[in-house]
Amino acid sequence: MSPGSRKNIWGRNDGMKPYQVTRRQIILEDFETMVSIGIHDHERAAPQRIIFNIILTVDTACPERDHIEEVLDYDFLRTGITELIEARHYNLQESLCRDIIDLCFSRKQVVAAKVSSRKADVYEDCASVGYQIEAERNA
C-alpha cells in the first residue's frame, strides 16, 4: 500500500476529516478570589469574594501537534486577572470586567470573549450579584 492510499479512521485516504471545526473555546469557570472592590465604606474596608467566569472564543485553527506552542496557553488569563486585582482597588465590577476584556484581547488568537463577575456575599437572600460583558474582535 502506497502512503497516498493509506486510509484514516474514517475510511478516507484524502487526508480530509468528515467535520469542520466551527468554534474553539477556552473556559475559566468559577475562579473565586478576594478582590478590593466596591463604592461603600464597608466594601473598601476589606476584600470581597468575587467569582469570575470567562469564555474565550479562539481562532478555529486546530493544533496539528500535541504541543502547547500551537494553542493559546490559558495560564495568562488566571495570572493576568490576579495581577489586575492585586494592582488596585476597583469601584465597579463593570470597570474590572472591562480590564479583563482588555486582557483577553491582548492575545491575537482571541476572536470573542465573555466575562462575568459576581459578588458572592452581598445579599443574604441571593447567591450573588454580578455583571457580564461580551465582546468580539473588530474585523
Q: pLDDT over 90 for what percent of the chain?
A: 71
- Sorted by where each begins, the domain ranges of the chain are 21-136
DSSP H or E segment with residue 130:
strand 129-136
Q: How far apart (Å, rounded) are the C-alpha atoms in residues 75 and 93? A: 22
Q: What are phi and psi of 27, to 5 degrees?
A: -125, 125
CATH class for the domain made up of 21-136: alpha beta
Q: How far apart (Å, rounded) are the C-alpha atoms in residues 42 and 31? A: 23
pLDDT in tens, 50-90: 999 999 999 877 777 788 877 888 899 999 999 999 999 99
Residue type present at position 81: I
**pLDDT given for residue 68 in this prediction:** 82
